[in-house]
Amino acid sequence: MSDIDPDVLELLVCPRCHRPLVWAYEASELLCTNPECGLAYPVRQGIPILVEDQARPPEGQT
């Protein structure tokens, strides 16, 4: 797992709802801060994959 530069993280937003993302280090994901959206975007080799088709829906949603 790689860290994401904090300066870069400040610029990233959810492609679906445009709310900020937070870094979930243990899961290696970027999580949308909007509770109505809540998508989790994977981070592979330190590169955020901000594509809705690659995102995981929040727990309990399909």
CATH number for the domain that contains residue 30: 2.20.25.10
Q: pLDDT band at residue 61, thresholds of 50, 70 and 90?
A: low
Per the CB < 8 A criterion, the answer to whether 19 and 13 are in contact is: yes
- What is the rounded CA–CA span in Å between residue 53 and residue 41? 9
Q: How confident is the model at residue 3 (pLDDT cuts 50, 70, 90)?
A: confident
How would residue 40 be classed by pLDDT, with cut points 50, 70 and 90?
very high
Q: How many domains does the chain have?
A: 1
Mean of per-residue pLDDT scores for the chain: 91
- Structural domain including 39 reads 6-54
DSSP calls for 8-62: HHTT-B-TTT--BEEEETTTTEEEES-TTT--EEEEETTEE---GGGPBPPTT--
Average the pLDDT over 16-37 and give the result. Answer: 95
**Residue 59 resides in a domain:** no
Can you tell me the mean pLDDT for 5-16? 93
